[in-house]
Amino acid sequence: MEADRQPVWLADGDSRPTESTHSRRLESDIIDTAAKADRVTVAEDVDWSPIRTFLDETDFDTETVYLQNVMIEECFRLTLCQISWTTDNISTDYGRVSRPYDEPCAAGNKVYAVWFIRIPDTVKADDISSYSSSIGGNSCERQRVGVEGGSGGDSAPSTDRHTGTSGEQA
């Protein structure tokens, strides 16, 4: 998605949010209720169908969706390495790799990568006081070694959970 404005957002009214020159390269939202999922809005050039299906298949009594709009250079793509959360913090780690040689791109152009990440836990938006995200210059292979076998949120005390790439994403 071109980087003039976010392609996906939570509607608060009838209009699309306007970007400014001071807009952040990363925007995060927590979708913790079906009512909030109904507020998800997409730009005209975005295929709404897989997003709607993903949200409709989420059980908000036991799951939460984490939405991230990430601005990246057009000649790269992101891979979600892991997500971790506590009662007041959500953190994501991405790997950045070059696009395949046969996919056209222009150096220096910015685009949005949009992630809908289903967290297998109830995370309340009002309780989250901080977000963090890192983008590494490699694929996720180094990070995956540490989370394999612990994916799906099963791997830590209930106050600190994480999932590897086997967590569901749209």
Question: Based on C-alpha coordinates, what's the Rg of the chain?
Answer: 16
Spatial neighbors of 80 by CB under 8 A, at least 6 apart, are 92, 93, 94, 115, 117, 140, 165, 167, 169
Lowest mean per-residue pLDDT among 16-25, 37-46, 131-140, 161-170: 161-170
Structure tokens at 118: 């289903």
The residues that bridge with 126 in the sheet, in sequence order, are none
Task: Give the pLDDT of residue 35.
Answer: 97
State which residues form the domain around 109.
Answer: 8-163
Q: Which of 23, 18, 116 is nearest to 64 (CA)?
A: 116
pLDDT digits (tens, 9 = 90+) for 50-76: 999 999 999 999 999 999 999 999 999
Number of folded domains that form the chain: 1
Is residue 12 assigned to a domain?
A: yes
pLDDT band at 109 (very low <50, low <70, confident <90, very high): very high
Of 4 and 91, the structure prediction assigns the larger pLDDT to 91
Is residue 40 assigned to a domain?
A: yes
Is residue 103 assigned to a domain?
A: yes
Is residue 3 assigned to a domain?
A: no
pLDDT band at 140 (very low <50, low <70, confident <90, very high): confident
- Mean predicted lDDT score pLDDT of the chain: 81
Task: Give the pLDDT of residue 100.
Answer: 93
pTM, 2 dp: 0.79
Cα 94 from Cα 105, distance rounded (Å):
20
Please report, rounded to a whole number, the percentage of residues in the chain having pLDDT higher than 90. 63
